[in-house]
């Protein structure tokens, strides 16, 4: 089982990543090593972000799916 957040469109996934980055102030600058906190992947014609504990405050509780 994997804990994920699922999005129907690529734009929704892009917006979710941007929201998370904004919440945590990433990137700190143009030359920062960390440019994004996470990336999305595709799965069964959906877009998913794999759960990390730091996402709970922004996205809430993830879904559990078999990948």
The whole-model pTM stands at 0.89
- Residue-wise pLDDT for 10-60, tens only, equals 999 999 999 999 999 999 988 998 899 999 999 999 999 999 999 999 999
Q: Is the pLDDT of residue 67 over 90?
A: no
Q: What is the pLDDT of residue 55?
A: 97
State both tokens at 21: 């980055």
Phi, psi dihedrals of residue 4, rounded to the nearest 5°: -145, 165
Length of the chain: 67
**Dihedral, CA of residue 40, residue 42, residue 45 and residue 50, to nearest 10:** -60
Q: How far is CA 51 from the centre of its chain?
A: 7
Residues 49 and 10 sit within 8 Å (Cβ to Cβ): no
């Amino acid at each position: 089982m994997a804990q994920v957040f699922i999005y129907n469109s690529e734009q929704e996934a892009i917006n979710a990543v941007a929201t998370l980055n904004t919440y945590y102030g990433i990137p700190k600058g143009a030359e920062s090593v960390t440019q994004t906190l996470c990336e999305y992947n595709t799965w069964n014609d959906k877009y998913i972000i794999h759960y990390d504990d730091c996402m709970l405050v922004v996205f809430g509780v993830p879904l559990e799916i078999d990948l």
